[in-house]
Structure 1
Amino acid sequence: MKQIRRMLRIIFGRTTFAAVSLMVQVAILFASYRFLSRYLAYFYGGFALLSAFVIIYILNKEENPSFKLTWMVPIAAVPVFGTLFYLFVELQIVGKLMNKRLRVNMEQTESYLTQNTKVMEELSRISRRNANLARYIKNSGHYPVYKNTNAQYFPLGEAMFEEMKKELEGAKRFIFMEFFIVERGEMWDTILDILERKVKEGVEVRFMYDGMCSLVLLPFSYPKELQAKGIKAKMFSPIKPAFTTYQNNRDHRKILVVDGLTAFTGGINLADEYINRRVRFGHWKDTGIMLKGDAVTSFTMMFLQMWNISEKEPEDYGKYLKDPEYFYPLELNMDGFVIPYGDSPLDQETVGEQVYLDIINSARHYVHIMTPYLILDYEMVQALTFAAKRGVEVIIIMPRIPDKKYAFLLAKSHYGELIRAGVQIYEYIPGFVHAKVYASDDTKAVVGTINMDFRSLYLHFECAVYLYRNEVIRDIQRDFHNTLAQSRRITMEDCRNYPWYEMLAGRALRLFAPLM
């Protein structure tokens, strides 16, 4: 009986409705093309000319060449359908309206994210290159560089979960949470229990999660369930049964802010596999970071900027700054420089990729990377291979057990060219690596939500923390080497022994890599 009810929920559920609706709309587009093709002889010349203009337009766009190629091939191969489809995508206005609203919110928070000139001057004296990177992040991403901030690194989701519970229990004023995935289970149920108690104590709780969860993980009405408990809750960009491209821009960030004093980010979502209470793809290796101090302000404003995209009432941003009378415990180590930053897919500025490229290009001794995906554009491949060729130790740890077969095939299609250049690739034997970590030369590191794939670098809302000359970088390096000890190095012999059909599929998938 349970199986019948489950089947009925699937058949008549929102996910099925959305999928069927999208397929119907695609079918209508294709049917329109077939209808027009009957009269193709009458206006083929006009469409050929239009296709030529569209290709010239694409060539001159300020856009990654991989995206240009992904569009130019279908337009050249099927001029009528390809051109119509491109114009349909390009003329979408919802994303433009969202970007306009986000820009307004950033302008309203600008006064709370001003750069401390003394901090920038000190960074400039120590490292002009890192000061220039900090200026880029401030000018392009609106987030300043801070001192007076403590960072604690978590090598596993279980460790971060324990600290999250402690900080949530200690909340006095407000709790802000923004996550990509939420699923009922031990992790979320435990946190939700704390949030309910905190609401009763008078703590303001805001909770936002990405609308993709409404497809299979949570009911579409779940925000109302949370609101009934006193929690201010919403979905970011709920999935709707409409064929539109803005739904491709997901909120992939993971942010927890408590009282403007503490902030968390990293790869860890709110589901049991992230704390290894549920086994999916073997052992789940993930990482996170907790900040205490001045840099928390950036995460507070980052959350409010996204929250207010869909709000009409004005926000009192200053209300959520750190209590000026609060002093952090003296035992906290507030060394080094910290730059929390966000990345939007709507502003044509690839902050996440530029920070990664800067780390690779400035490395003198090593670059150590943990990432679940390796779907690379030309610039990233060139940066990694050139670093290895000039003697920099470049090591990338990937999963041995992937969560997405097609993504793993794409990653393997890059292995050969990277390994030939001297890049070392390892696969984590116990299971799946979901960590997004860069470390270089014992002086700099990034921990955040940004994968090495097109979706994270170009299509998703993301966030991360850049660390320079912080003691916590030693902890990151220690974790990297511990993970490396549980990993197996991939050789050229391995690459040659991969099944030919897998390699062929991986190379064919490169054409669609910008969509993956």
Structure 2
Amino acid sequence: MLLTTWQIIKLIIWGIIIINEIAALYTVFREKRDIAATWAWLLVLTLIPVLGFILYAFLGRKLPQDKMERIQSQTELELSAALEEQKKQFLDMPRPKKQTMRMYRRTIMLFQSIDNAFLTRHNQVDIYTDGQRLFQKMFDDLSNAQKSIHIEFYTIYNDRIGNQLRTLLEQKAAEGVEVRVLYDSWGSMGVKRSFYDALRQNGGLAEPFLMTHSNLFDFRLNYRDHRKIVTIDGKIGYVGGFNVGDQYLGRLPKFGYWRDTHLRVIGGGVYSLQQRFIRDWNASQRHVQDKIIHYRPYFPPITVKQGNTALQIVSNGPESPLEKIKLGYLRLINAAQDHIWIQTPYLIPDDSVLDALRIAIHSGVDVRIMIPCKPDHPFVYRATQYYARQLANEGATIYFYQNGFLHAKTMVVDGKMASVGSANLDFRSFKLNFEINAFMYDHHITDQLEQIFVNDIRNCKVMTPEMFAAQPVWLRFKQTFSRLFSPIL
């Protein structure tokens, strides 16, 4: 019996569907991932048969095991012995009588346990929210470097500010200062390896994170080095949300003024930034001769108190099963008694963070969340709007920042503890990218961050539940639809 043309077409279609489903199941389940991400990818691969696999190649593939092992194999360097002694001191410490000290102690012990995060007490911390002021100060510090400059950024663009940085680094390398630059190949897309040729000729070094030289073979959007670290002579450090590019100085009309938050640190906290850079640098080198072997010169002795800020540097990455910065955020949220003020460009929390915020709201804690009023990634922004709407309905105060683009990643709790760094309040920062944050225990710093938040409110629009409900149906549909893919955004 001969089949008709239509029957043949139907058989082909069903064959494609069956093959696609088998391929989807194999693709998703062959790598270990959480349930939410598994179902999200099954949805994508099932509903978008061919394009879904292309998206998976960009967004779904996990980091190769050899690269995971290179990160995991890095030692704790100079701080390990001191850290063990510090852990013992906190365990043996009598229970503090003051609630604030109990809050500090539990948070500090959490980070000591999950990230070996060393507590340093006498740091001078300066806060920068404007790119022009930040880079002016950073370039002054770089110009005065005597021994070493270590730089790690997600993005270093070949534009005006990027070229100014490169020229300065070339000059310092020519003077005999050790210069090492670590950049993410995807975040710095469009910048060729030859961009750093003159720096290398002058004795400096510049490498992509985890030694991926070509985006042609590294088109994975996940597992990127999103950290922003600068250390100078092991004495001055920078960490926060700014990358290196003209857009971060407000020079791109698309975004307008770029509102971010960055820290300049002097004191023992620089040791932790230095350690993180060295571990990332060594993991990115294939040859022993290119690694930093003799660590001690990079950790100069601290002879005087620089300030009064106690802090821990906490790093997060897919090489660890623990989502360390997320656990830190949860610790701060759960410890709040009065208020939680958050700034984030991407608000895509997982269920644990969402529930923690709900509990805080319904327990009478003043929860305020500030997000941008414009997207830099439209699909991600619609999901952000969805969660903002949900939290507004729960009782949180939601602000849309309108004076340009808000890129700050800050959390302040009760005027006592704060976090500033590279990690957003989203799945990507929790699970997929390499991040770094400073968690600080100092009311002087929290007072400054809260005043900055209050000042930013002047450039915001408050979004009430009624205003969200009045949004066009099509916009709310896009928000809800985008939310379905939040585990993989």
Tell whether the structures are fold-level matches, with TM greater than 0.5: yes
Indicate how the Cα distance of structure 1 residues 119 and 167 shifts in structure 2: closer, same or farther if over 3 A, else same.
Answer: farther
How far apart, in 2, do the equivalents of 1:406 and 1:50 lie? 26
Aligned to 1:241: 216
Whichever residue aligns with residue 178 of structure 1, its letter is E
Q: How many residues align?
A: 470
Q: Does 1:452 align with 2:419?
A: no
C-alpha distance in 2 between matches for 1:124 and 1:130: 12
Offset of residue 465 of structure 1? 0.1
> Does 1:201 pair with 2:175?
yes
CA contact 1:115–1:144 (8 Å) conserved in 2: no
C-alpha separation in 1, matches of 2:318 and 2:382: 25
Contact map agreement 1:402 1:408 (CA 8 A) in 2: yes
Matched, 1:316 2:293: yes
Instruction: Tell me what 1:102 maps to.
Output: 71
1:398 paired to 2:371: yes
Within 2, Cα distance between the matches of 1:488 and 1:282? 17
Give the aligned partner of residue 190 of structure 1: 164
Q: Counterparts of 1:422 and 1:71 in 2: how far apart (Å)?
A: 32
Of 417, 434, 437, which aligns to 1:461? 434
Q: Secondary structure at the match of 2:295?
A: helix
Which residue, 69, 78, 101 being the options, matches 2:39?
69
Letter in 2 for 1:241: L
Q: Equivalent residue for 1:412? A: 385
CA-to-partner distance for each residue in 1:206-250, whole Å, 9 max, x for gaps? 01111014533x1243343431232210112445334875x5211
Report the 3-state secondary structure (helix = DSSP H, G, I; strand = E; otherwise coil) of the residue aligned with 2:424.
Answer: coil
Q: Is the CA contact (8 Å cut-off) linking 2:259 and 2:407 kept in structure 1?
A: yes
Distance in 1 separating the partners of 2:450 and 2:278: 33
Paired position in structure 2 for 1:30: none
| Structure 2 residue runs without a partner (length 5+) | 1-10
Match among 266, 274, 278 for residue 292 of structure 1 = 266
* Equivalent residue number for residue 128 of structure 2: 154
Preserved contact between residue 266 and residue 447 of structure 1 (Cα < 8 Å): yes
RMSD of aligned C-alpha atoms? 3.4
- 2:359 maps to 1:386: yes
Partner of 1:19: none
Q: Distance in 2 between matches of 1:362 and 1:214?
A: 38
Q: Which residue of 1 aligns with 2:6?
A: none
Q: Does 1:327 align with 2:288?
A: no
- Find the residue that maps to 1:427 and give its secondary structure: strand
Superposed CA deviations along residues 152-180 of structure 1, whole A, max 9, x for unmatched, are 11122222222212211221110100001
Residue 272 of structure 1 and its aligned partner are, at CA, apart by 1.8
> For the structure 1 residues 495 and 202, does the alpha-carbon distance in structure 2 shift closer, same or farther, using more than 3 Å as the test?
same
1:214 and 1:220 in contact (8 A); partners too? no
2:344 corresponds to 1:375:
no
Residue of 455, 470, 476 corresponding to 1:497: 470
The Cα shift of 1:345 comes to: 1.6
Query: How far has the Cα of 1:381 moved from its partner?
Result: 1.7
State the 1:414 CA deviation. 1.9
Distance of aligned partners of 1:488 and 1:92 in 2 relative to their CA distance in 1, 3 Å threshold: closer
Structure 1 residue 318: deviation in Å? 2.4
How many Å separate the matches in 2 of 1:90 and 1:208?
Answer: 23
Q: CA deviation at 1:123?
A: 9.8
Structure 1 distance, partners of 2:419, 2:163, is: 30
Secondary structure in 2 aligned to 1:447? strand
Relative to structure 1, is the Cα distance of residues 215 and 480 closer, same or farther in structure 2, using a 3 angstrom cutoff? same
Partners of 2:357 and 2:140 lie apart in 1 by 40
CA distance, structure 2, for counterparts of residue 200 and residue 351 of structure 1: 39
CA deviations 1:275-331 (Å, max 9, x no partner) are 23444412211111111111211110100111111322153242343322x534x6x
- Unpaired runs of 5+ residues, structure 1, are 1-36
Q: Determine if contact 1:167/1:258 at 8 Å carries over to the other structure.
A: yes
1:346 paired residue number: 319
Instruction: State the TM-score, normalizing by the size of structure 2.
Output: 0.85
Structure 1 residues 73-110: Cα deviation after superposition (integer angstroms, max 9, x where no partner): 357779x9999999999997853211211111135566
1:92, 1:480 → 2: CA distance?
A: 38
Q: Percent of aligned pairs with the same residue?
A: 25
1:113 is displaced (CA, Å) by 6.3
C-alpha distance in 2 between matches for 1:213 and 1:153: 24
Distance in 2, matches of 1:273 and 1:441, equals 33
- d(CA) in 2 for partners of 1:167, 1:276: 22
TM-score for the superposition, normalised by structure 1: 0.81
Task: Assess if the C-alpha contact under 8 Å between 1:350 and 1:457 holds in 2.
Answer: yes
150 and 214 in structure 1: CA distance in 2 versus 1, 3 angstrom threshold:
closer
Q: 1:433 to 1:113 in 2, by over 3 A?
A: farther
- Over residues 444-500 of structure 1, what are the superposed CA-to-partner deviations in whole Å (9 max), with x where a residue is unaligned? 000000111222121110001000135222111111111112211001222122221
TM-superposition CA deviations, 1:349-389 (whole Å, max 9, x none) = 11111111111111100000111111222222211122111
Note if contact 2:58-2:222 (Cα within 8 Å) is conserved in structure 1: no
| 2:326 counterpart of 1:360 | no
Q: How does 1:214-225 map onto structure 2 within 5 Å? A: 215-216=189-190, 218-225=191-198
